Chain A
């Protein structure tokens, strides 16, 4: 028996209706509010069987709220009005008892953050059994085979080990595969994927998205994809719904919305995607390129020579950084590109003097970092600042903006009180923040504002060198564009030298002058941005480049066979 056949809302029954097939999912006049706050206003769209639709917008645009309304999983206090029709049936009006059979069986859900989406104290297998139970398959052994087959299908190479593992034992990419597997296991007609790749590296992102495309075609599943990245949406969806502040800005087929956006907001989203606009900041970057050509003979601001660092994990030696060499001339940006585990974080820690290298030499403006006392390192650090990855965790929530930005001056005892206050104001103005924010605490700031505060804090000591550790990876695409602009404007104005750590090649192409590609502790390729991007020599670089979402529709990869499932269906 096919899994959905026993359901009143089964898509196969819908075929009995006269006329053209109704859409699988029809949302009409949907509004969602939390108390007096309306977060989604009068949203409507249709999704046909086997097709895919992307909801696009920044955080706060209401896209996740819409996804959760479809699943009726709004957090406590959320209230949805309007119509959400699944196979012609309004699901908002159903009682919980009548709606529950649709969850999992007819509508599957892939959540955003794989790290929190599985029960930490239960094995993956125990949780997979819950999804398998929806198949109405009484044979335990066959159920388990189905689970293992699905795990293999979503690209988990050792299904049995995954089955026995606890969530903490798997990486984010693997957990996301598990979650996709659990969602598709009961063969839903609709899959709701809420930013399924935003926590992952680019190459894993591409594999997960490929997997979703392939499953969609093989299993005839409709996909409701929620994303903030227009390039991903354009690549993977048949039609797009652009949202801002809970209101639909534009809707239509992907080809139309993507190539000829009608609304101002869709045009802005398009302009903010780095992959689509590699030369957006050409003017701001020009100064750096000229310095690069002119200043090759002066001492580079950062010089890393043959640096190696080995850690011992469980008695095994692990070379995190292996013979890494690069230089960054004054006033230019070098990007250090690599995925999780490539050694880029360790390289940064070595550069900041937090770790000591086993061998090799690191110099900042000609001054060696290695083998120095704590006190003399402090002097070097004044000229070397770091901007952290996540502005939501890197700022003390109990401090006001003014104290956060002023703290480095206090630590180094620079200037009188008035001079410090003046420098705080200048630094905030440099990053484009108004003085009215001085008394705010981080909680009352947006993500972009927080990262600007973090940048202002790193500028306050007037450093020459700033290490930017994935400064935009926790932010939306449009906020990222603002931050990049601030950084480049500061570099052009103050002649700053940046080491930009990232896994996002499209972003690197927009803002860096030179690139080093790291893979398993080694630099596999480095050179000028144009050389690396136009003519990659190393296979890994090419793979990274191919994984960047370009916005061009991609054909779904080769389909696979499903022996156990077919057996279950015919049984």
Chain B
């Protein structure tokens, strides 16, 4: 059992590393073959006012005169060593640029996720306690409503209502606690819809299972049936859903940061994309890939620990009872 899990974990870890490396290479190639040459676009831009000598120096320092495969190799080996290179625009280390804005994005993303989980739980678990005639239908309508409103609209409405009308926060101080709170709500609402939909669907499926009827035949009421039987099996798949929404959380942060005027990875990406600052773009995309892969890796590793059924992975059944019955499961496992 333990041995099996460790083998499984090692396999998933190796896969994660391969995915990250492939993403890096893919991003590099895509950026390289995109139309537009950074040298012409950025360095020769008369507004920047670089001299021919300066341009030559920068090109040499960035290795832009090398063939693409060589550039890829240099860049990849630096990436593996933790060196993300220098920004082409400001000539500061990319690591520093990211480190400056990362905390702000992390705060926004994690509080957005917290809002999403809380909302989803209230909506989905709430359906279990409202009667079919009253309230439940209303609650079930929320996820589709949330999904159909783009989060920048939600952000603008929140800024208008709570910032300008009610004056709860000053719009020119986007990093304040209240501003962060409303940004997190704007970010969390569409994500909560996805989680709530999965939860509601799971709750519906689980409550139709035979074991739920049998548990009710033991005299369990709705509240205990939900708490003891339905909650865990219907919530487990959310671990996977959360991992999958990480991408959206990152993308959503980008939009929300722009709407609320916050500093963060979003604003960094926006500026770098406008300026074709390739080292920064490459670093941010790779970083996003690393985060996404890591979170999914964690979800995959945690899931078997939470769901006893998955501990079965290739595991022959136990044989605790009488001779004639105990021979059955093992053989079924073999022949089945």
Q: Which residues of A contact B (CB under 8 A)?
A: 68, 71, 73, 75-76, 100-105, 107-109, 111-113, 116-122, 126-127, 130-131, 134, 155-158, 161-162, 165-166, 168-174, 179, 182-183, 186, 203-204, 311, 313-314, 318, 320, 339-341, 343, 345-346, 349, 520
The reply to whether B332 and A119 form a contact with Cβ atoms under 8 Å apart is no
The residue that A109 contacts in the complex, of B214, B232, B328, with Cβ under 8 A, is B214
Q: Which of B220, B221, B321, B336 has the most chain A CB atoms inside 10 A of its CB?
A: B321
Docked complex Cα distance between A320 and B208 (Å): 38
The reply to whether A339 and B214 form a contact with Cβ atoms under 8 Å apart is no
Docked complex Cα distance between A183 and B331 (Å): 30
Q: Which residues of A contact B36 (CB under 8 A)?
A: none
Q: How far is the CB of B330 from chain A (nearest CB, A)?
A: 6
Q: Which residues of B contact A (CB under 8 A)?
A: 208-211, 213-221, 224, 228-229, 232-233, 236, 307-309, 312, 316-318, 320-322, 324-336
Contact A168 B317, CB 8 Å, known A113-B210, A313-B334: yes
The reply to whether A341 and B218 form a contact with Cβ atoms under 8 Å apart is no
The reply to whether A116 and B218 form a contact with Cβ atoms under 8 Å apart is no
The reply to whether A169 and B211 form a contact with Cβ atoms under 8 Å apart is no
The reply to whether A318 and B331 form a contact with Cβ atoms under 8 Å apart is yes
Docked complex Cα distance between A152 and B316 (Å): 25
The reply to whether B325 and A313 form a contact with Cβ atoms under 8 Å apart is no
Q: How far is the CB of B88 from chain A (nearest CB, A)?
A: 53
The reply to whether A168 and B334 form a contact with Cβ atoms under 8 Å apart is no
The reply to whether A134 and B325 form a contact with Cβ atoms under 8 Å apart is no
The reply to whether A108 and B217 form a contact with Cβ atoms under 8 Å apart is yes
The reply to whether A130 and B308 form a contact with Cβ atoms under 8 Å apart is no
The reply to whether B308 and A166 form a contact with Cβ atoms under 8 Å apart is yes
Docked complex Cα distance between A327 and B216 (Å): 52
- Find the B residue at minimum CB distance from A203: B324
Docked complex Cα distance between A183 and B215 (Å): 10
The reply to whether B330 and A313 form a contact with Cβ atoms under 8 Å apart is yes
Q: Which residues of A contact B327 (CB under 8 A)?
A: 341, 520
Docked complex Cα distance between A380 and B154 (Å): 67
**A-B residue pairs in contact (CB < 8 Å), sample of 27:** A73-B217, A111-B210, A111-B213, A112-B210, A116-B210, A117-B214, A157-B320, A161-B320, A166-B309, A168-B317, A169-B318, A170-B318, A170-B320, A174-B321, A182-B218, A183-B217, A203-B324, A204-B324, A204-B325, A313-B316, A313-B330, A313-B333, A320-B335, A341-B329, A345-B331, A345-B335, A346-B331
The reply to whether B322 and A314 form a contact with Cβ atoms under 8 Å apart is no
The reply to whether A121 and B236 form a contact with Cβ atoms under 8 Å apart is yes
Q: How far is the CB of A110 from chain B (nearest CB, A)?
A: 9
Q: A320-B335, A341-B328 are in contact. List 6 more A-B contacts (CB 8 A).
A: A108-B217, A111-B217, A119-B215, A157-B321, A318-B330, A346-B335
Q: How far is the CB of B220 from chain A (nearest CB, A)?
A: 6
Q: How far is the CB of A91 from chain B (nearest CB, A)?
A: 13
Docked complex Cα distance between A182 and B221 (Å): 17
- Find the A residue at minimum CB distance from B314: A314
Docked complex Cα distance between A156 and B211 (Å): 21
Q: Which residues of A contact B329 (CB under 8 A)?
A: 170-171, 341
Docked complex Cα distance between A100 and B229 (Å): 17
The reply to whether A168 and B309 form a contact with Cβ atoms under 8 Å apart is yes
Docked complex Cα distance between A341 and B221 (Å): 40
Q: How far is the CB of B214 from chain A (nearest CB, A)?
A: 5
Q: Which of A113, A119, A162, A165 has the most chain B CB atoms inside 10 A of its CB?
A: A119
Q: How far is the CB of B205 from chain A (nearest CB, A)?
A: 12
Docked complex Cα distance between A215 and B210 (Å): 24
Docked complex Cα distance between A320 and B209 (Å): 34
Docked complex Cα distance between A293 and B333 (Å): 40
Q: Which residues of B contact A171 (CB under 8 A)?
A: 317, 321, 325-326, 328-329
Q: How far is the CB of A470 from chain B (nearest CB, A)?
A: 13
The residue that B322 contacts in the complex, of A157, A165, A345, with Cβ under 8 A, is A157
Docked complex Cα distance between A341 and B326 (Å): 9
Q: Which residues of A contact B332 (CB under 8 A)?
A: 340-341
The reply to whether A120 and B308 form a contact with Cβ atoms under 8 Å apart is yes
Q: Which residues of A contact B209 (CB under 8 A)?
A: 116
Q: How far is the CB of B272 from chain A (nearest CB, A)?
A: 46
Contact A173 B335, CB 8 Å, known A73-B213, A130-B228: no
The residue that B216 contacts in the complex, of A103, A172, A174, with Cβ under 8 A, is A103
The reply to whether A130 and B325 form a contact with Cβ atoms under 8 Å apart is no
Contact A103 B335, CB 8 Å, known A116-B209, A121-B307, A318-B330: no
The residue that B334 contacts in the complex, of A68, A126, A161, A311, with Cβ under 8 A, is A311
Contact A103 B217, CB 8 Å, known A113-B210, A120-B233, A121-B307: yes
Docked complex Cα distance between A103 and B216 (Å): 8
- Find the B residue at minimum CB distance from A204: B325
Contact A162 B320, CB 8 Å, known A119-B229, A122-B232: yes
The reply to whether A73 and B218 form a contact with Cβ atoms under 8 Å apart is no
Q: How far is the CB of A39 from chain B (nearest CB, A)?
A: 17
The reply to whether A314 and B219 form a contact with Cβ atoms under 8 Å apart is no
Contact A119 B217, CB 8 Å, known A318-B331, A340-B328: no
Q: Which residues of B contact A121 (CB under 8 A)?
A: 232-233, 236, 307-309
The reply to whether A320 and B217 form a contact with Cβ atoms under 8 Å apart is no
Q: Which residues of B contact A101 (CB under 8 A)?
A: 219
The reply to whether A75 and B208 form a contact with Cβ atoms under 8 Å apart is yes
Docked complex Cα distance between A155 and B318 (Å): 18
Docked complex Cα distance between A322 and B233 (Å): 42
Contact A119 B211, CB 8 Å, known A100-B219, A103-B219, A340-B332: yes
Q: How far is the CB of A118 from chain B (nearest CB, A)?
A: 5
The reply to whether B321 and A158 form a contact with Cβ atoms under 8 Å apart is yes
The residue that A169 contacts in the complex, of B219, B224, B317, with Cβ under 8 A, is B317
Docked complex Cα distance between A127 and B219 (Å): 12
Q: How far is the CB of A76 from chain B (nearest CB, A)?
A: 8
Q: How far is the CB of B202 from chain A (nearest CB, A)?
A: 12
Q: How far is the CB of B172 from chain A (nearest CB, A)?
A: 50
Docked complex Cα distance between A166 and B232 (Å): 14
The reply to whether A130 and B324 form a contact with Cβ atoms under 8 Å apart is no
Contact A340 B331, CB 8 Å, known A120-B233, A182-B218: yes
The reply to whether B219 and A134 form a contact with Cβ atoms under 8 Å apart is yes
The reply to whether B218 and A165 form a contact with Cβ atoms under 8 Å apart is no
Docked complex Cα distance between A520 and B210 (Å): 32
Q: Which residues of B contact A113 (CB under 8 A)?
A: 210
Contact A122 B217, CB 8 Å, known A171-B329, A174-B321: no
- Find the B residue at minimum CB distance from A130: B218
Q: Which residues of B contact A103 (CB under 8 A)?
A: 216-219
Docked complex Cα distance between A133 and B176 (Å): 52
Docked complex Cα distance between A307 and B216 (Å): 50
Q: Which of A73, A186, A340, A346 has the most chain B CB atoms inside 10 A of its CB?
A: A340
Docked complex Cα distance between A174 and B328 (Å): 11
- Find the B residue at minimum CB distance from A127: B215
- Find the B residue at minimum CB distance from A68: B213
Docked complex Cα distance between A122 and B214 (Å): 14
